[in-house]
Every structure is written in structure tokens, then in C-alpha cells.
Amino acid sequence: MAAPDPVAAQNNKNETTRTAKLSESPEASSEIINKQLKSTMGNMPINLAALYEYDPPNVKLSKASTDIVINAPQQYVWDKLTSFHTYPKLFPRLKTCQVVKKEGDLILIESLLKPQMFVTQPCQHTINDLEDKPDSLKWKLTDGNFKAVEGEWKLKSIDDGQHTQVKYTMEVDPGPLIPRPVIVMALKMIQREAVSSVKSSVEQEYAAAMQAKGRNISNTSSTVPHG
């Protein structure tokens, strides 16, 4: 069995220390983030907590929110929003989506975007925060086409648990290349598209599940002997 390499061990220790101090130096932070995200599938451990807490310097976020009612229970809506591998079905702008890493309540996903406006880098990574489940799903992009993007799905059970009030908020800093009024308009359009797609998909699947459940109950009842 080969002896441990002291140089490699020290390098790993130094990298861990640099990652732990992620917010202390924006330049070093960006370098670490890029290095980590390029190796998401293997060699170097990813510190999701540090990545999630990091904000690029001089960020100015534009914020927009929209509300909608989904005709399905809150837990069902939550389960669909956190089934990340099905995101291309929920969000038509996505081509693929996969979970890269889990760390407590933080989940890192890698998405591939379809060709569309403002997209020059199709591959992007998002950290999802499930700490406030099933009431709030927060997320933050760690790379991609804009300087900073984050959002939140807030869920509230209504109508005796039969339906769910959903508030979807997005905040974005497009960076210096895209005029802010243009990105705000696009942001609102994308929001409406997202909530409409989620509502349609979740309600269709929930209705189908309830119909299937009803058929199963009916079939079971018909096979029970009656005295």
C-alpha cells in the first residue's frame, strides 16, 4: 500500500481553507467557484454552503413576484418542485437537469438550457435550499448568463388543504451588458411562463393520480364479497 503524499495532503488542506473563507476575497471566490463547478462530477469536493452564501461584489438585484393558485395539495406541489430530474417537463426552457451533489438541505443541480434569448452559456448550476420545506424552496444560480440570479417558491395550503397558494419571486442582476429595463421585462415574462407551466403540469398529474386512485378503490370494492 502506497504511503500518503504529504504534498497532496497539504494542497487539499489549503484548498479546504480557501473554500471556507470564500466570502473574504471576491477574486479568490470566483476562482474557487469556477474550479469547483468545472469538477462537479468528481475529484474535488464542493462546499455547497460556502457557494450558496457567496454573493458577487456590487450586486444590484431587480425583483419581481407573481402569485397563482394550484389545484393540488401543498405537499404534492412541493414534491413536484423538488423532483429536479423532471424539471425539463415543468420548465420547457430546460433541455436536461440532473442532481450533482447533496449537502444537508442544499442540493446542487446542473441544467442545460435550450437555445433562447440572452443565453450564451447553456450549462448552468443552481443551489436549491430545502431548509424551510414544504413552505419555501429558495434557489441561487452559481454561474450562467447573468451576474446574479436567485429566487423563491413560497407555498401555502388553502381551501382545507385541497389547493396551494404559490408566490414565485425572482431577483436578477444581468451585469453591465444588458439594459436593466430589458431584463426586467424578460424576467416578468419568464416568471409568468414558469408558474403557468408548473400549474398546468402539476394539476394534470394530480388529477390523473386521483382518477387512478378512484379506479383502484372502485376495483377493490367490486372484488369484495357481499354477504
Tens of pLDDT, residue by residue over 70-95, are: 999 999 999 999 999 999 999 999 99
Q: Is the pTM of this model over 0.95?
A: no
Q: Quote the pLDDT of residue 158.
A: 98
> What total of structural domains would you count in the chain?
2
Q: Quote the pLDDT of residue 221.
A: 55
Q: Is the dihedral of CA 205, 127, 41, 190 positive or negative?
A: positive
137 and 203 belong to one structural domain = yes
Of the candidates 155, 157, 186, 181, the one whose C-alpha atom is nearest the C-alpha of residue 170 is 186
Q: Quote the pLDDT of residue 120.
A: 84
Q: Quote the pLDDT of residue 214.
A: 79
- Tell whether 79 is covered by a domain: yes
Q: Quote the pLDDT of residue 131.
A: 97
Give the three cell numbers for residue 134: 414544504
85 and 24 belong to one structural domain = no
| 42 within 8 A of 99, measured Cβ to Cβ | no
Scanning the structure block, which residue is given the C-alpha cell 408566490?
167
49 and 151 belong to one structural domain = no
Per-residue pLDDT tens, the chain, 227 aa: give them.
445 454 444 444 444 444 334 333 333 444 445 555 554 444 556 789 998 998 888 888 888 899 999 999 999 999 999 999 999 999 999 999 999 999 999 999 999 999 887 788 899 999 999 999 999 999 999 998 888 999 999 999 999 999 999 999 999 998 887 777 887 788 888 899 999 999 999 999 999 999 988 777 666 655 555 55
Alpha carbon of 178 to those of 32, 42, 79: distances in Å?
26, 34, 35
Q: Quote the pLDDT of residue 133.
A: 97
135 and 34 belong to one structural domain = no
Scanning the structure block, which residue is given the C-alpha cell 471566490?
29
Which of 87-92's residues contact partners 24+ apart within 8 Å by CB, and which partners? 87/111, 89/201, 90/197, 90/198, 90/201, 90/202, 91/194, 91/197, 91/198, 92/193, 92/197
- Tell whether 2 is covered by a domain: no
131 and 39 belong to one structural domain = no
Residue-number span of the structural domain to which 23 is assigned: 15-53
Q: Quote the pLDDT of residue 9.
A: 47
